[in-house]
Amino acid sequence: MTRLHFHFRIFVPLFGALFACLLNFPAQASQGIAQYGKPKYANGFGYFDFVNPAALKGGTLVLPNPDRRTSFDKFNPFTLRGVTAPGVSQLMFESLAVGSADEVSSAYGLIAEDIQVAPDKMSVIFRIRPQARFSDGSPVLAADVKHSFDTLMSSLSNPQFRTVYADVKQAVVLSERVVRFDFKNRNTELPVMVGSLPIFSRYWGKKGDGSITPFDKLTFEHPLGSGPYQIESYKAGKTMIFKRNPDYWADKAGVDGKTLNVRVGFFNFDRVVYKLYSDDAVRLEAFKAGEFDALVEYRAKNWAKSYVGPRFNDGTLLKKAFLNHNGAGMQGFAMNLRRPLFQDVRVRQALGYALDFEWLNRQLFFNQYSRIDSYFTNSDLSANFDGERKPTNAEIRLLKPLKTKYPQWVPDAVFGPMPAAPSTTPPDSLRQNLRKARDLLAQAGWTYREGALRNAKGEPFRFEMVEDGPFFLRVLSAYIRNLEKLGIQVDIRTSDFALHQKRMDEYDFDMTTIRFPDSQSPGNELWDRFGSQAALEKGSDNVIGVRSPAVDELIDYIVKAETREEIQASARALDRVLWNSYFVIPQWYNPTHRVAYRKEMHYPDPPLYYTAESWILMNWWKVEEK
């Protein structure tokens, strides 16, 4: 699960300023807002710098499953149970505001034509464009915005929304096209964040008799969103086909009836088709056979060895690694702290010594990866941003009081240099690391006897590793071989995407691979990822089960930060606490997106911050040979 994205732009009619004064908002409404400083793009800008405004429109984009899902059983992406069809969230729902992919934490009006933040930053007003329409042609009104917020905050939706928007007190309808969000606390991120709220019609699921299907019961009822596409057809487990809405409102909502500036160069295809394949090998062979247009590759071995053949030789198929500046975040083997086996920090630290990244990188990854060294890897928010160093005075001012209040939750190590992940680069070695692991386990009461690592009760150290497919088995096998040398027994359990997701939602696992993508400006999503309350709610992002009052206070510092310097200090302090608590065995990252594509596909220069799948879907275009 990841944080939702924003959308935004603005035109202020003459009476807007008068309306603001009547509401005690002396600040003038603006086209764009920024969490810190000023937004990059001034009022009236033509389009974002990272798009091609002359991109050819038309044609069909054919893509494979964008993740591990191989089927789907609903169109509603906002409820907990079930698997959503690919593309629905990105193609069918717009939000009040949209972020720019070449700056940090700014937002520009999309459904909203202007945004107005209160001087005390305890509320924000959005004025809805009169052109904004849902897919059935009905207008987007303030009542729909309030309905969307209230529904997502209710028990009918995935509980992650209640966590992410926990600091939003209420949505208030001020008039037919004006809505205000009130906040519980001062938080500089909130005005930008509520702009990211997905908006849907209050009549989604309306039946012939006038009744409305309950939100958590919506399955294959076509969504009433305001996005550029509608569902053309589908076949569960096979295909999902979207067609561009010929009456898409943003195509006529800009100056002089032209495309809205934040949508210039976006969504260039008439149709988008998703074909679902059973596994990675089948998907790759289908791409080589010409069954779809582009493929993002996440496996180093495949990239090095498998993207070859006649179609690559003759230029029909191309491959390229695109640089990005995304924070890499955290990827690793996560332990479920709800299990008694993993509650001793010495045990968690010991398990990290058994992962030989350098061997994996040489033997399996063709030296394409770097080691994760932070929860904010590849970012200036990392406590390792310029190497292993001690905390700054600003970080110490946050950490010392927390150490006094919560000594068991703030490791002593946070006041020293950030330790690197265990390495086997000489003079270090796997043998030395396993000795360190053995000593830590012994301190925690685990010793080797009778053919296994056992505790004082004689119980063996045994756990289950769960994954959503077999693609990671070679890595797991290498890791488990090292654990077996310590006397630890590991059972591997793989399952399909739907079953794996259900187990994650219910925290029914011992250890699994997690991926926490980083944000350039983290905020409320951290409550869902590491907050104590989220650990108690099924379906949250806190699969680890972190319940630390120190972590909670540091997250609170982050979301209330008012300058970039404040968020850097608080994020680095949080990084030190999480890293030295050994909740996750860190893996690796690659600062590029590896994409293979048909020669007919074209693209603009990539932005600073982006995911490859969304970039292809939103900003690429196709030039067919005649």
From CA 294, how far away is CA 292, in angstroms rounded?
A: 6
| Alpha-carbon span 142 to 194, nearest angstrom | 14
Q: What is the DSSP string of 602-626?
A: E-----SS--HHHHHHHH-EE----
In tens, the pLDDT along 512-558 reads 999 987 777 788 889 999 999 999 999 999 999 999 999 999 999 99
Is residue 8 pLDDT above 50, yes or no? no
CA 92 to CA 245: how far, in whole Å? 10
Query: What value does the mean pLDDT take over residues 116-120?
Result: 94
What pLDDT was estimated at residue 530? 97
Q: Are strands 462-467 and 511-516 parallel, antiparallel or unpaired?
A: parallel
Confidence of residue 16 (pLDDT cuts 50, 70, 90): very low
DSSP percent split of the chain into helix, strand, coil, nearest 5? 30, 20, 50
DSSP H or E stretch at residue 505: helix 497-505
405 CB neighbour count, 10 Å cutoff? 12
Q: Which two three-digit tokens encode residue 618?
A: 């939103």
Count of CB atoms within 10 A of residue 13's CB? Answer: 12
Q: Measured between alpha carbons, how far is residue 364 from residues 38, 305, 475, 595, 605 in Å?
A: 45, 11, 8, 20, 31
pLDDT digits (tens, 9 = 90+) for 264-301: 999 999 999 999 998 889 999 999 999 999 999 988 98
Alpha carbon distances (Å) from 104 to 6, 14, 263, 333: 12, 30, 19, 29
Percent of the chain residues past pLDDT 70, beyond the cut: 95
For the chain, the average pLDDT equals 91
Looking at residue 28, its pLDDT comes to 54
Of 266, 246, 264, the closest CA to residue 255 belongs to 264
* pLDDT band per the 50, 70, 90 thresholds, residue 3: very low
Among 622, 620, 623, 624, CA closest to 51: 620
pLDDT in tens, 243-254: 999 999 999 988
Q: Which domains does the chain have, with CATH numbers?
A: 14-28+57-201+222-257 (3.40.190.10), 278-324+591-622 (3.40.190.10), 330-589 (3.10.105.10)
Beta-carbon contacts of 510 under 8 Å, excluding residues fewer than 6 positions away, are 335, 336, 339, 341, 342, 463, 464, 465, 466
| Residue 231 token pair | 């569902």
pLDDT of residue 413: 96
State yes or no: pLDDT of 184 exceeds 80: yes
Count, residues in the chain: 626
Stretch (H or E) spanning 181: strand 178-183
pLDDT in tens, 478-499: 999 999 999 999 999 998 888 9
Query: How far is Cα 512 from Cα 544, in angstroms, rounded to an integer?
Result: 9
Q: Is the pLDDT at 449 greater than 80, yes or no? A: yes
CA terminus-to-terminus distance, the chain? 42
Task: Name every residue whose Cβ is closer than 8 Å to that of residue 209 and which is 6 or more positions away in sequence.
Answer: none
Residue 605: how many other CB atoms lie within 10 Å: 10
CB atoms within 10 A of CB 121: 15
Model pLDDT, residue 6:
30
CA–CA separation, 23 and 224 (whole Å): 32
Mean pLDDT, range 468-474, rounded to an integer: 84
Convert the pLDDT of each residue in 402-431 to its tens digit: 999 999 999 999 999 999 999 999 999 999
Residue 137 DSSP label: S
